[in-house]
Amino acid sequence: MHTGINKTKAAAYGLLSWLFPFISSFLFFTKNGQPMLPVSLIKSIMILIGASLGAVLLFRLFKRSPPSLGTGVAIGLFWFLLNILLDLSILVPITKMSLREYFSEIGLRYLLIPIMAGAMGAVGSQQRQQW
């Protein structure tokens, strides 16, 4: 039985957790960069896309490895940092957002990643102990 998290898969899933929502976001903007829907609706949709994808990726990752609160938080923090760094490298320059705007409108929401990952790890650990 595999006892640890596959680090390559965890890193690839972390990248995917950023890439898929990033690409999906282009569906909501014209070629000129104008939103096709109200911005607040786009942000809500993006949160749903990111959270849903994150849940699926975490489930797949924990499916083959014993989950725990610590493992969940570690993966969540890694994905959090990866998403922030990718945004700062790619999204912020494209949108010309200030760092203050970015963190208040987008970056802070990424804290959902370690929260959700830690919760999934903790619940998975408790379920495993009950079996």
Contacts of 82 (CB under 8 A, 6+ apart): 11, 14, 15, 17, 18
What pLDDT shows up at residue 130? 63
Token pair recorded at residue 8: 């390559």
Mean pLDDT of the chain: 91
3-state secondary structure of 46: helix
Q: Where are the domains of the chain?
A: 7-130
**pLDDT confidence bin for 131, thresholds 50/70/90:** low
Sequence letter at residue 20: F
- Read off φ and ψ for residue 70, nearest 5 degrees: -60, -45
Q: pTM score, two decimals?
A: 0.88
C-alpha of 79 from chain center: 6
Question: pLDDT (tens digit, 9 = 90+) per residue, 53-83?
Answer: 999 999 999 988 778 999 999 999 999 999 9
Question: pLDDT (tens digit, 9 = 90+) per residue, 107-128?
Answer: 999 999 999 999 999 998 876 6
